[in-house]
Structure 1
Amino acid sequence: MNPETRAAAVALYDRFTHEGMDRRVFMERLTRIAGGAAAANALLLAIAADPAAAAITKADDPRLVIKKGSLGLKGIALDGYVAAPKDAKGKLPALIVVHENRGLNAHIEDVARRFALEGFFTVAPDFLTPAGGTPADEDAARAAIGKLDYDAALAAAIAEIDALKALASTNGKVGVVGYCWGGAFVNRLAVAAGDRLSAGVSYYGPAPATSEAAKVSAPLLIQLAGRDARVNATAEPWAAALKAAGKQVQAVTYPDVDHAFNNDTSAERYNKAAADKAWAASIAFFRQHLA
Structure 2
Amino acid sequence: MSKKLKEDIPQEAFDWYDEYAHGGMNRRTFMAKLSTLVAVGYSMTVLTSALLPNYALAEQVSFNDDEIKATYETFDSPNGYGKGVGYLVTPTQKTGVLPVVLVIHENRGLNPYVKDVARRLAKAGYLAFAPDALFSLGGYPGNDDEGRAMQKALDGSKIQQDFIAAAKFVKTHQRSNGKLGAVGFCFGGYMVNYLAAIEPELIVAGVPFYGTPAKKELRKNIKAPLLIQLGELDERVNSSWPEYENDLKSAGVPYQMHMYKNAKHGFHNDSTSRYDKENAELAWDRTLAFFAENLT
TM-score under structure 2 length normalisation: 0.91
Structure 2 residue aligned with 1:163: 169
2:58, 2:200 → 1: CA distance? 37
2:247, 2:93 → 1: CA distance? 42
Structure 1 residue aligned with 2:52: 48
Pair 33,124 (structure 1): closer, same or farther in 2 beyond 3 Å: same
Write out per-residue CA displacement over residues 261-281 of structure 1, whole angstroms, 9 at most, x where no aligned residue.
Answer: 001111x21101100110011
CA contact under 8 A between 1:154 and 1:192: conserved in structure 2? Answer: no
Q: What letter matches 1:58 in structure 2?
A: S
The offset of 1:247, in angstroms, is 0.8
CA contact under 8 A between 1:208 and 1:234: conserved in structure 2? Answer: no
Matched, 1:11 2:15: yes
The offset of 1:37, in angstroms, is 9.5
2:183, 2:242 → 1: CA distance? 18
Structure 2 residue aligned with 1:192: 198
CA contact under 8 A between 1:31 and 1:37: conserved in structure 2? Answer: no
The offset of 1:120, in angstroms, is 0.5
The match for 1:234 among 240, 263, 268 is: 240
CA contact under 8 A between 2:75 and 2:166: conserved in structure 1? Answer: no
The offset of 1:150, in angstroms, is 2.2
Paired positions, count: 289
- Correspondence 1:128-147 to 2 at 5 A: 128-147=134-153
Structure 1 residue aligned with 2:29: 25
Matched, 1:183 2:189: yes
Structure 1 residue aligned with 2:288: 283
Q: Percent identity?
A: 35
- In angstroms, what is the RMSD of aligned CA positions? 1.9
The offset of 1:5, in angstroms, is 3.8
Q: 3-state DSSP class of the match of 2:75?
A: coil
The offset of 1:125, in angstroms, is 0.2
The offset of 1:244, in angstroms, is 2.4
CA contact under 8 A between 2:195 and 2:202: conserved in structure 1? Answer: no
The offset of 1:249, in angstroms, is 1.3
Write out per-residue CA displacement over residues 211-240 of structure 1, whole angstroms, 9 at most, x where no aligned residue.
Answer: 432011211111000000001111342133
TM-score under structure 1 length normalisation: 0.93
The offset of 1:2, in angstroms, is 8.0
Greater CA drift, 11-20 or 105-114: 11-20
Pair 77,193 (structure 1): closer, same or farther in 2 beyond 3 Å: same
Structure 1 runs (4+) greater than 4 angstroms displaced: none
Matched, 1:212 2:218: yes
Write out per-residue CA displacement over residues 40-82 of structure 1, whole angstroms, 9 at most, x where no aligned residue.
Answer: 23211112211332511111111111102x4233643111111
2:129, 2:269 → 1: CA distance? 19
Structure 2: gaps spanning 5 or more residues? none
Matched, 1:151 2:166: no
CA contact under 8 A between 1:225 and 1:257: conserved in structure 2? Answer: yes
Q: 3-state DSSP class of the match of 2:83?
A: coil
2:77, 2:110 → 1: CA distance? 21
Structure 1: gaps spanning 5 or more residues? none
1:60, 1:2 → 2: CA distance? 33
